[in-house]
Amino acid sequence: QDRLRKRGLSLLVYDGYRPVRATLAMVRWAERSGRRSLLNDGYIASRSRHNLGLAVDLTIVDPAVGAPLDMGTPFDTFSESAHTANAEGPVLTNRRILLRAMEAEGFRNYEKEWWHFSLDVPGALPFDQVIR
Q: How far apart are CA 17 and CA 128, in angstroms?
A: 10
pLDDT at 131 over 80: no
- CA end-to-end span of the chain, whole Å? 28
pLDDT at 1 over 70: no
pTM for the whole structure: 0.88
Q: How far apart are CA 52 and CA 20, in angstroms?
A: 9
pLDDT score recorded for residue 101: 94
pLDDT score recorded for residue 35: 95
**pLDDT-based confidence at 78, cuts 50/70/90?**
very high
pLDDT score recorded for residue 7: 82
**pLDDT-based confidence at 33, cuts 50/70/90?**
very high
pLDDT at 115 over 90: yes
Percent of the chain whose pLDDT exceeds 90: 78
**pLDDT-based confidence at 69, cuts 50/70/90?**
very high
The mean pLDDT of 16-20, rounded to a whole number, is 91
Q: How far apart are CA 20 and CA 101, in angstroms?
A: 28
Kindly report, residue by residue over 94-109, the tens digit of the pLDDT: 999 999 999 999 999 9
pLDDT score recorded for residue 129: 75
CA dist list (Å): 75 to 2, 12, 16, 57, 117? 23, 11, 13, 8, 13
